[in-house]
A and B are shown apart, each in its own frame.
Chain A
Amino acid sequence: MELQAVLMAAGGGSRMMDLTYNTRKPLLPVGNKPLIWYPINLLERVGFEEVIVITTKEVQKMISTDPKMKLDVKMKLDIVCIQEDAHMGTADALRHIQQKIKTDILVVSCDLITDAALHEVVDLFRAHNATLSMLMSKAHEFTETVPGQKGKKKNGDFVGVDGTGKRLLFMANEADLDKGLVIRKSNMRKHPRMHIKTGLVDAHLYCLKKSVVDFLADNRSVSSIRGELVPYIVRKQFSKSMTSPNVNDEADQKLKKKDGNANVEIKILSRDEALLQLTRERSCWNDHRGDMSEAYHGGRLRCYVHIMDEGMCYRVNMLAAYIEANRLAPKLFDEPAVHPSAAISVRCLIGADSIIGASCQISDKASIKRSMIGASTTVREKVKVTNSIIMHGVTIEEGCNIQGSVICSNTVIGRGADIKYCLVGSAQRIEPEGEHTTAYYCLTLPSHTQVPLTSTLSGNSRVAKIQ
């Protein structure tokens, strides 16, 4: 086995609490499949037979019961549960499963929906004997209006790659750059062309050497892969102690002693290292031109990145991404848009870009366009659903008009309600439309308060206004 796959599915989805209040993030329905299905499918497609899933007890229970997962997933899921309230970061989680890790690993986050060719990332990892290779994609502009949210946060990561666009040289967040971009000249000397790119999303898909996991085991202070480990490795590529070519074990040991308990070095001496070294010495191949120094300038840590130019790559960690993913995800698999078990009236209108889940009931004269309807949902007569996500078990009474909204599971929407760009939490009851006729007051709460456009309703009937 060359790579072990690790799926990080313990995140709570803290950036879209309104959705994840009742459903954990890995189980959020996207195109009527739980979110976690997508990374598992991605791994399955490239031939992984086993994956270590790090998740919480709750999610584990759901995964084992979810019929979709049972039916579709053929690979072996090795589920490792961690305490939900332990506040473990992704790196902590890796440390937790260190015993299970025997080879280099491929870490995937459960919220990744992509059609990327994974082999591009792995090939970089193989070809350069890299310490880290990762996947990035151009950030997408979210086209749909996001319910309950105005404006969006800017993702201001600066990523520096070399002339070939593959080697990752530099990484910094805009927020950290108070004094402007600082790049060391010695790095420029080694990599004279550096493309600085912004507007990229990190897909949170990493190939890591086993030694990195060992390093994590020694360094308990590192808790997050993206936040701490990756920037650290990227920076360490150019540190001197790593670049000195003849660090033998003895020197390593000395270093360790010097650093005391904090072992800051990543030991990447693998069993083949000596042979590889020899190969590189004997070979005329070099990764750079100009000066006559050896390939990679004797550096032992190498980070690579594959940046997708086209194709789809979403991280479902925000509401906007969730909606966008729902719109696009069905294109990833070719299943019938309407589940066979759904009872659909002949006289209703269902657009080709909509998905209807299992055992749904759609009544006469309903019109569903560009929407996803979850399982066991009942849609009554004359209901119009446009650009919306309806989760499972929702009942929509006659004459409702739902547009650009997200309706969470087990909600009942009263007759004639007019809902525009709203987020309705799970197990809600939306009162039937009565005297409210203006489009601005589109939601009626049980307490008959009026909520203006772009508001959020959450599971506990909490009314939060998001600016």
Chain B
Amino acid sequence: MSSRGGKQKKGNVTSEQEEEEQPLQAVLVADSFNRRFFPISKDQPRALLPLGNVAMIDYTLEFLTSTGVQETFVFCCWMSNKIKDHLLKSKWCRPTSPNVVHIITSDLYRSLGDVLRDVDAKNLVRNDFILVYGDVVSNIDVSQALQEHRHRRKVDKNISVMTMVFKESSPGHKSRCEEDDVIVAMDSKSKRFSMGTDEFEIRHDLLDCHISICSPQVAELFTDNFDYQTRNDFVRGILVNEEILGNQIHLYVTQDGYGARVSNLQMYDSVSSDMVRRWVYPLTPEANFTDQQGQGCTHSRHNVYRGAEVSLGHGSQMEENVLIGRDTSIGANCHISNSVIGNNCTIGDNVVLDRAHMWNNVHISSNVEIHQSVVCDGAVVKEAVRLNKQCVLAYNVVIGPNLSLPEGTVVSMHHPEEEEEDDDDEFLSDDQEVGHSKDKTRQKAFNPAEVGPEGKGYIWKASMNDTEDEELAQCLWGLVLNPDPESDSESEASEESQDRTFQLEVLGTLQRGLEENIVCDNLVLEINSLKYAYNITLKEVMQILTRVVLEYPFQQQGTQLTTLQYTGSLLPLLKTWSPVFKNYIKRAQDHLDCLSAVEELFLEQDTHQTAMVKVLMKMYQLEILEEEAILKWFSTGATNDKSRQLRKNQGLQKFIQWLKEAEDESSEEGE
């Protein structure tokens, strides 16, 4: 694959032609139908955002062309005019282009489903086609996958409707999108999604490239199932109905090649750095595959790329993996690493850039430090500003001077609230008209504490959208790669959960007993059967029972109870359930265990410690606990500071004193 340069597609195309008479078609969806890149995508559709100084849609089109696609339908929705303008100017719309690009725009598309339904309605595809998003960066040669797909369709009479392209990459790889963490069950031999067969494989090392080879039925199936919105809906629908409808989905797993979808800024960051590190060869920055004048740059060692007319001040260092666009000037003593800088930028002196993504026409003053952040077109960063990790400066924002933006700050010229107003429209598509609320925004002043004295822009907060499921969608950077979210040991967890479920069951039983007035004997019977069902020892049963009963008032009336209310509701309960207790508390050891359970609970509920005496008193009166046991517990049970503290409780001391005296009396009486 690597031997095929950006412009050598002719040979591939002819071979495809021989094989299939009809030209290979592709459907490119240049809208994400979500707001992950807001507020950046308020000004520019996601497909046009620059990655390595080239719009993302150009990578997708280049990928399609190089795999032999001859006809591409680009579906645009949000800011379709901008995409259209971009494409008309690009090489794809030149008469010499091997890939004929048709642009179809509509404001009515709300999802991938709508697009494919439109494909079906307009009868655009005649044969198998490739379905991609406008933000996919890839150099995978899908012709192999295409062949397999066609072969399967020939052999099995159109049973296979889709072949999804996956790339092998182990968990923990940085190009894996944590949100797109797929686990696939597949039949290793037939490469089919399945779990039914004798032997199958569960794979967690696959990366969904969001490239799918679809049969024409896919569009029809979307029309038939009008509730399919996304490709996931489709895949799920097909797999669930596999036995009924007989449609199958296959996978194509590639080991080499690169394919990733820029679905959030985390992915943007890693794809961009992969690009600069030449993983997407032949799509490299210096290749200038978009064939635009002035885009060329030179490639020198340590992956440093320089466009035309770049000036670098004295003492400035470009360490490694740096791409600098044309006409950019950099001041003295700067330190730049792992960064992409766009065209026409000016950077002052003593600037530190690490993992920074700066787009075009950005002005950075002196003494600025930027770490892993995105700075959009026209933004101005004034003197001595520090951008910590994962900051985003959207279009034309001004920041500073003398400011440090905390981690994850998002600044935009659009006010967040105008966004919220638009939210009334329940659809998540990007196609809102923003302009109408512009005058409202003007009235709101910029907060100098947030953006600096000369700053212009509003802070966007990630938690702005408080509906739970959209929280994820709002987070620009996506979930942070967590190297090892180790959960507890399995068996321990399961044992724990068993105790827990047992506790809940006991609670339920007691609750029912109270409501339906069940005799205590029957309750004991039920608890005993639960004990066997969950394999719980007698000791644990008693401890859990004690805990459940003592927590019962909290359970029923919330945790805000005062001590008085608590004892008020608990004591009658103890009376009701005393036969249950008596059934379990028989031996001396049982008494001690019960007492330690009581102690444990009151150590947790330390605000209610005064209630403990009353509980113990009641249990003593009800003859659940014996005085010897209580005395023994009091004298010997203290093992740590807290329980010693507990024993110093005045009420408890008095109670014990009283018990002792009572004992003396009774023994005297006995004599």
Taking each of B199, B485, B489, which has the highest tally of chain A beta carbons within 10 Å of its own beta carbon?
A: B489
| CB–CB B491/A197 < 8 A | no
Q: Is A226 an interface residue (CB 8 A)?
A: no
| CB–CB B203/A192 < 8 A | yes
Alpha-carbon separation in the docked complex, A185 to B205 (Å): 12
The interface of chain B, by Cβ under 8 A from chain A, is 169-173, 183, 188, 195, 198-205, 483-492
| Chain B residues closer than 8 Å to A277, beta-carbon distance | none
Alpha-carbon separation in the docked complex, A157 to B298 (Å): 60
Among B200, B203, B488, which residue has its beta carbon within 8 angstroms of that of A240? B488
| CB–CB B484/A293 < 8 A | yes
Among A188, A235, A242, A264, which residue has its beta carbon within 8 angstroms of that of B202? A188
| CB–CB B198/A235 < 8 A | no
Among B200, B484, B491, which residue has its beta carbon within 8 angstroms of that of A196? B200
Of the stretches A46-54, A283-291, A425-433, the one at the interface is A283-291
Q: Is A100 an interface residue (CB 8 A)?
A: no
| CB–CB A184/B198 < 8 A | no
| CB–CB B204/A188 < 8 A | yes
Chain A nearest CB from B558 CB (Å) reads 33
| Chain B residues closer than 8 Å to A291, beta-carbon distance | 170-173, 483-484
Chain A nearest CB from B253 CB (Å) reads 11
| Chain B residues closer than 8 Å to A181, beta-carbon distance | 195
| CB–CB B170/A240 < 8 A | no
Can you report 9 residue pairs joining A to B where beta carbons are below 8 Å apart? A183-B202, A193-B201, A194-B203, A232-B491, A238-B489, A289-B170, A290-B205, A291-B171, A293-B484
A193-B203 contact given A186-B486, A238-B489, A239-B491, CB 8 Å threshold: yes
Alpha-carbon separation in the docked complex, A235 to B491 (Å): 8
Chain A nearest CB from B495 CB (Å) reads 9
| Chain A residues closer than 8 Å to B200, beta-carbon distance | 195-196
| CB–CB B201/A198 < 8 A | no
| CB–CB A199/B198 < 8 A | yes
| Chain A residues closer than 8 Å to B489, beta-carbon distance | 238-242
| Chain B residues closer than 8 Å to A189, beta-carbon distance | 171-172, 204, 484
| Chain A residues closer than 8 Å to B198, beta-carbon distance | 197-199
Chain B nearest CB from A148 CB (Å) reads 29
Alpha-carbon separation in the docked complex, A77 to B485 (Å): 51
Q: Is A292 an interface residue (CB 8 A)?
A: yes
Chain A nearest CB from B417 CB (Å) reads 39
Closest 6 CB pairs of A and B: A290-B170, A291-B172, A239-B489, A192-B205, A188-B204, A192-B204
Q: Is A300 an interface residue (CB 8 A)?
A: no
Chain A nearest CB from B176 CB (Å) reads 9
Chain A nearest CB from B254 CB (Å) reads 15
| CB–CB B202/A194 < 8 A | yes
Q: Is A210 an interface residue (CB 8 A)?
A: no
| CB–CB A238/B203 < 8 A | no
Alpha-carbon separation in the docked complex, A183 to B184 (Å): 13
Taking each of A183, A198, A240, which has the highest tally of chain B beta carbons within 10 Å of its own beta carbon?
A: A240
Chain A nearest CB from B148 CB (Å) reads 20
Chain B nearest CB from A292 CB (Å) reads 7
Smallest Cβ-Cβ distance to B171: which chain A residue: A189
Question: 19 other contacts beyond A185-B204, A193-B203, A236-B491, with CB at 8 A cut-off?
Answer: A184-B487, A184-B490, A186-B485, A186-B487, A189-B172, A189-B204, A192-B171, A192-B205, A193-B204, A194-B202, A194-B203, A196-B201, A198-B199, A239-B491, A239-B492, A264-B491, A290-B169, A290-B173, A293-B483
The digit string for A193-218, where 1 denotes a CB below 8 A from any CB of B, is 11111110000000000000000000
The digit string for A69-100, where 1 denotes a CB below 8 A from any CB of B, is 00000000000000000000000000000000
| Chain B residues closer than 8 Å to A184, beta-carbon distance | 487, 490
Alpha-carbon separation in the docked complex, A235 to B492 (Å): 11
Chain A nearest CB from B227 CB (Å) reads 25
Smallest Cβ-Cβ distance to B185: which chain A residue: A196
Alpha-carbon separation in the docked complex, A197 to B485 (Å): 28
Chain A nearest CB from B337 CB (Å) reads 21
| Chain B residues closer than 8 Å to A242, beta-carbon distance | 489
| Chain B residues closer than 8 Å to A236, beta-carbon distance | 491
Chain A nearest CB from B349 CB (Å) reads 37
Chain B nearest CB from A82 CB (Å) reads 28
Smallest Cβ-Cβ distance to B183: which chain A residue: A188
Alpha-carbon separation in the docked complex, A186 to B486 (Å): 6
Among A193, A197, A290, which residue has its beta carbon within 8 angstroms of that of B199? A197
| Chain A residues closer than 8 Å to B487, beta-carbon distance | 184, 186, 240
Among A239, A240, A290, which residue has its beta carbon within 8 angstroms of that of B172? A290
| CB–CB A196/B490 < 8 A | no
